[in-house]
Every structure is written in structure tokens, then in C-alpha cells.
Structure 1
């Protein structure tokens, strides 16, 4: 079984033999996990640094500094906001499947709205992503960005330098994800609401090169579509060819 992962700030400089403490929620998590002296664990800051250590006397003794692999292509998921009971499920599933960034989208046909409660709703998504990353033994926790209110604002959230490829999941598309050229530094995966993406929204995504694609013959629910697409990308690109934790 792989070592448990804890998400916690690391000392400015980490080296073998260094000892540090976990605090807050992660300290409580060690109690839930019933960590015992001598057991191995991994601590990551969630953004690019991680160590493997040994639990001794309620503290972490660093055994090795881990190389945190940055996947290529990087995948950002533009997720239409699902109903409240499915929103955290969507975040959990896409985090397990490897999403690198999550962009909540207030699609015109989304039933759920964040009006006046965006800060609280976004925090729930961040907590769901953090929890799922730990469960999946991920060293990188996906960023949850501010809400995308209209596809025309996508340019402010994607990097032209990386020449992102925008793929729009759409049940009426005729191009399969297996037929798309996926050789890119970044892929932006757009998942619409249960009611579908409007024609105006499709046109707005098309201005960024958005290409409608289909995953397969089934029509997936908005809460699971991103995870299925990320699984396909894991197989069709180099993203899953190297394990993050040895």
C-alpha cells in the first residue's frame, strides 16, 4: 500500500534528517490515521514540493525530497456548476482523475447559481479538491479559480503562451476525443450543465479554438463527464506514463 499523503506547508528548505511538525487539520488527520512511530508518510505543499518522511514522536523526520512531476499536457476543467449535491462529487471525481485546475462556470442553463455566495461555494470546492487529492495520493492539489461568468471571459484564465487546446464536450459532436490532436502543453476541457451548452456559448468558446468532441455513445452526467474525459486523456497522452509517487 502506498504511503498516506498529507497536504501541509513545508519548511523553506527541506533535507534528509530535518524534522518538522504538522499543525491544524493535518495534525488531526494523523490522529484519525492512527499514525505510529516508524510509519512512513508523504507530505506535500500541494503546489510542487514534497517529501517522504517517518513519523517519530508526533513529528515528521524527512527521509528524502521527492521530485514532483508536472504532467503534460496540463488539463484545466471548465465545469458548469452542478446542483449542490453533485458539485462536490464532480470536484472529487475530476481531482481523482487528475485535473490540474478547476474553473467553475456559471453556464446559462445551470440550475445552481453562486450569486452572492461565491466565496463560500468556492471554498467548498477547494476543500473537496484537497480531500480527494489526499485520498488519491496526489502531490499536486488542483487550483480552483474564480467563477467564469461567460465563455467570452475565458481568455483571462488561460495562457496564450501555452497555446491551449480547448475541447468542448458536446453530445451532438461528430469528432471523437480519440481523433483529436492532443499534442499540446495545455488542454482546456469544457463540461456543460445537464441542460446542455447553448449555441451562443458554443460560439463564444469557438473564438478560443473550442472544438466540440464526444467521448462515446453514452451521454454522461455533468458530475462524471470530466473524470471520464480525464481518464481518456490519461491513456491518449503521456499524462499517466509515470507514477507521481514512487
Structure 2
């Protein structure tokens, strides 16, 4: 299987088999120096906007490589979209959720500053945290050879979630909910999965989100960690949406 390298600055639209694609900069350096890609090997190059070019490397340099395209895959953005609203969590639990969710096909990610979040992104740390998640997303896209790169929004407080998710159907993962996620039927709207932190969603937040239109749903009889709940729910939705 081809390994995917991303270069969001490339214009891959309109390419035909036989065209030569030039990869340069840090991504090419990583391919040539770290991954030891050599002429004759088969890899893929994507733009993160729906196009992935597969082909054989024809030449390499310290910070560049050339690929002759033999297969060009163009994918429209998935619809309806799935957004993961992941509460900030201690340690690397939120990062594990972001990584797995990306590999499973999430389309966008919103970091959520929940009331019970132990981790806090404030001041300069807010953008640093967002960039960290964006890097994790990018690497997960490359690993899973996805054609679309999910955006990571700025950290959002509870008061801003309804606005940030305007037009989406909010599914609030709550272990005590009466309705199972497996019973939810897609209605054409984009979907937003809201996952709380280690201590769960605070009652006042639960009330506020439900008042804004969120639907509490449960995954099953067991209570999953915040690092597991979102990816598990995405797997369920992938089946419901016919992605799997």
C-alpha cells in the first residue's frame, strides 16, 4: 500500500496519469531522510482537499522528490459530515480520541472547554493546543490514507457550542440517556458528537446543551473513557451512514 504524504499548497486539480508531481520542503525531507523513500518506490501525495495521487518516485533530493502519477483519486467531501466535539482531558486522553477519530473518518474536530475539564487551554496555550491537535490529525490522515484533512477549530466553551455547530444535529454522549445511539436514524443533517471529559458532563451543561437542541444518546451498558467514547460512536455512525 502506498504511504501518503501531504502538501496542502499543491494544486493537484486537473492532473492526468503520466503527470509529474513535485513534493518539497519538510514533507519531502521526511520522506527522503526519515522514511528513506527512494526512486522506484510507490507512494501517494495528497492535497488534503479530496485529491490523492498515487505513483512511482522518479527522483529524490535532500528536500524534494518527484512522482509520476499513474492513479488519481478524487473524492467529494463526505455528506453528511461528522464533527467530534471532544472535551479537553488530562494526560493524552483527548489526543488519543482525536487520533482514533481521524483514522475512523471524522470530518471536523472542535476542542471543548467543558466545566469538568482538568486540562485548560488559556492565553497562548489555546492556539498551541489547537496546533498540537491539528498535527495529530494530519499524521492520522497520512497513516489512514484519507483524501480530506479535517479542520480543528479553536477551543470552544459550552456557551459557544450551539453557535459553532449551527445547522448540525448534536448527539450528546451520556451513559444515562434513554435512547441508544444505534437507534438514531440519520436525517440528512450534519452530525456533531459531543463527548465530555473524565468526570462526565456537568448537569448544568447537560441542561444547557439539551435546551440548545442536543439529543442525549448512550453507547451501551458500559461507561467508556473520554478517549474511547468518540471513536466508538463514530464507528456506529459509519455503519448508519453507509460509510462502512
TM-score normalized by structure 1? 0.89
Who is 2:63 aligned against?
none
1:9-88 pair list within 5 angstroms: 9-11=9-11, 13=13, 14-31=15-32, 32-58=34-60, 59-88=66-95
2:131 counterpart SS class: helix
Shift of 1:12: 5.8
Rounded Cα–Cα distance in structure 1 between residues aligned with 2:140 and 2:26: 15
Who is 1:6 aligned against?
5
Q: In the alignment, does 2:213 pair up with 1:209?
A: yes
| Unpaired runs of at least 5, structure 1 | 241-246
Who is 2:106 aligned against?
99
Answer whether contact 2:173 2:195 (CA < 8 A) is retained.
Answer: yes
2:93 counterpart SS class: helix
Shift of 1:178: 1.1
Answer whether contact 2:162 2:209 (CA < 8 A) is retained.
Answer: no
Who is 1:244 aligned against?
none
Q: In the alignment, does 2:122 pair up with 1:121?
A: no
| Unpaired runs of at least 5, structure 2 | 61-65
Which of 177, 197, 203 is the equivalent residue of 1:173?
A: 177
Answer whether contact 1:5 1:139 (CA < 8 A) is retained.
Answer: no
What's the C-alpha RMSD, in Å, of the aligned pairs? 1.7
Who is 1:231 aligned against?
235
Rounded Cα–Cα distance in structure 1 between residues aligned with 2:189 and 2:50: 18
If asked which structure has higher relative contact order (CA below 8 Å, sep 6+), I would say 1
Rounded Cα–Cα distance in structure 2 between residues aligned with 1:180 and 1:87: 25
Question: Are residues 231 and 12 of structure 1, via their aligned partners in 2, closer, same or farther at CA, if it must alter by over 3 Å?
Answer: closer
Who is 1:131 aligned against?
139
Structure with the bigger percentage of strand: 2
Rounded Cα–Cα distance in structure 2 between residues aligned with 1:53 and 1:68: 17
Rounded Cα–Cα distance in structure 2 between residues aligned with 1:92 and 1:26: 20
